[in-house]
Structure 1
Amino acid sequence: MSRIVALEPAPGSPTSLLRTFVGLHLRDLGGWIRVAGLLELLATAGVPTSSTRSAVSRLKDRGLLLSEKRDSLAGYRVDPAAATDLERGDRRIFSYRGQRDDEPWCLVSYSLPEVERSKRVQLRRALMGLGFGAVSDGLWIAPGHLRAEAEDAVDRLAAREHATIFITQTPRTAGPFARSAAAWWDLDRLALRHTVFLDRYEHHAIEASASDDRESFILWLRCVDDWKTIPYVDPGLPANALPADWPGMRSVDLFAELRARFSAPAHDYVAKVAAAD
């Protein structure tokens, strides 16, 4: 699935739910779905037809969907140009990676001239969107497993000659490392994101499974739509950078449990609706 950046719709909006649907299900359908099937599925999830059509237009403008007829049936398919972003999003969303205390860190240092101020802003936003913390102006830090994504962000902005990427052991800070981490990342905000997710979905793990495939589809779509931005603001900090009562791993485990329980019946429901005449 493609990641959601700061300027894109918030979870729960028609455009966000449609994008989540594309990432979760459309590729499994062979990359194409008839218009009527898509409208029915999104309506099942509570999105009015008019809102789905507007959301489709937005995602076509953003290079995620294309209109395509098959056997005289109007439909939509995934834009091949979006494949790389969707796969990158899959890895981040469904393969949460937490760092151990003894693993290396990735630092990105850059200094762009004033004539490239807009590129400097874009690079800062890109690093924030990957979960990097700001040590100071032009110096950012994240767990070492995000190195490839940092390199990709720098390369896509053609900023390589102005940026240096370091892989290093835990920085030596004046006080406890956790105190510095709290200054580099907004840990209160991150914790709140996890807590909201736990409050919203923990009872589904405690109670019986959804009653049928339709209910599983609705729950799983909304669950992923709420979860998908969390791995981008929480880069998987190690225990020595976090408060003792950190809720992050509880929500990571909860998401994995919900995936194991609801993703397969949700897929079955989508396949059935998509195959209907």
Structure 2
Amino acid sequence: MSAVLDDMDSRPGSTTSLLRTVIGLYLREAGGWMSTKDLVLLMDALGTSGTVTRTALGRLRKKEVVRLETRDGNPGFTLTGGAATMLARGDRRIFTPRSMEPGDPWCLVSFSIPETEREKRHQLRRRLHWIGCGTVAAGLWICPDSLRDEVEEILADLGLRDMATLFVTGSPMVGGTLPDAAAKWWDLDAIAGLHRDFLHHHRPAGTGAMGQDLDGGAAAFATYVRSIDRWRIIPYLDPGLPADLLPTDWPGAEAAALFGRMVETLSAPSAAFVRNTLGATVS
């Protein structure tokens, strides 16, 4: 499985997804390697047993996210090259969500792939969907031009670049209204549902998710990791359309603001917990 798709294929909240999130947040800052024991301790703070964590590590090895490496007699894990690229891309998406402004350019992706390459065609469509592209027609997709580099990466990775043409264009001219067209090209109801789900699980109430009771320790770590894990797929699927193309009750801005506050409040105490657990510097 490719690095782009692998960033999306674990269900948020599952042990494998939470472990991937822990690794994505802290393994690089811990020097690029963590012992199995330390990963088990961190996952224990998320309520996961050592046996289940080791099983999830096995899954991530099979997916080529991590590879086993022993240091000073201690078994542990480091990132594969593909996973390092995937996580760097994820950092940009998660912590700098894109937002398209009216008048920004669009990218149209036109492709014609023969039946002999139907598996690659299927993979291309899945991967375009998973990075936030919309479907105009079976062989014509649309996205903000800010996603063009990622589209190019996908085409190159699948060996399909010579079967596709990219057009950079201004606002599409449609038969009806552009908001109606956008609602056909993207499943805006499903994307809005992801935002509302995040708000439902993480909107603070009194001294809830961001109260003083979570200023440090395992509780801050667990809350922060779970918020990242639930949020991380949203900036992939949400293309960040301009407000004038979205429903008036669009929850994206509220969810993004809440996520930003959680990062500001919980990232430092969560890193401190990891630092104390590993006995290593985590920034």
TM category, shorter: over 0.9
- Cα RMSD (Å): 1.7
Aligned to 2:199: 198
Q: 1:3 to 1:226 in 2, by over 3 A?
A: farther
Aligned to 1:118: 119
Identity %: 42
Asked whether 1:99 is paired with 2:100, we answer: yes
Deviations 1:148-203 (A, max 9, x none): 11111111111111100111111011111100111111111111110110111111
Is the deviation greater in 15-24 or in 35-44? 35-44
Equivalent residue letter for 1:184:
W
Deviations 1:221-250 (A, max 9, x none): 100010011111101111121011111011
Measure the CA separation in 1 of the matches of 2:8 and 2:266. 30
Q: Which runs of 4+ in 1 moved over 3 A?
A: 2-7, 204-209
Asked whether 1:237 is paired with 2:241, we answer: yes
Measure the CA separation in 2 of the matches of 1:222 and 1:270. 15
Q: Is the 8 A contact 1:104 1:170 kept in 2?
A: yes
Measure the CA separation in 2 of the matches of 1:19 and 1:155. 26
Aligned to 1:28: 29
Select which of 222, 226, 250 maps to 2:226: 222
Equivalent residue letter for 2:19:
L
Asked whether 1:18 is paired with 2:24, we answer: no
Q: Is the 8 A contact 2:124 2:155 kept in 1?
A: yes
SS at match of 1:166: strand
Q: 1:3 to 1:113 in 2, by over 3 A?
A: closer
Equivalent residue letter for 2:221:
F
Measure the CA separation in 2 of the matches of 1:28 and 1:213. 18
Measure the CA separation in 1 of the matches of 2:82 and 2:201. 34
The TM-score, its normalising length taken from structure 2, stands at 0.92
Asked whether 1:255 is paired with 2:256, we answer: no
Deviation of 1:9 after TM superposition, in Å, equals: 2.2
Total equivalences in the alignment: 275
The TM-score, its normalising length taken from structure 1, stands at 0.94
SS at match of 1:112: coil
Deviation of 1:78 after TM superposition, in Å, equals: 1.9
Measure the CA separation in 2 of the matches of 1:181 and 1:275. 50
Aligned to 2:161: 160
- The 5-angstrom pairing of residues 37-56 of structure 1 reads 37-56=38-57
Measure the CA separation in 2 of the matches of 1:5 and 1:179. 32
Equivalent residue letter for 2:245:
A
Measure the CA separation in 2 of the matches of 1:234 and 1:126. 14
> Which runs of 5 or more residues in structure 2 are unaligned?
none
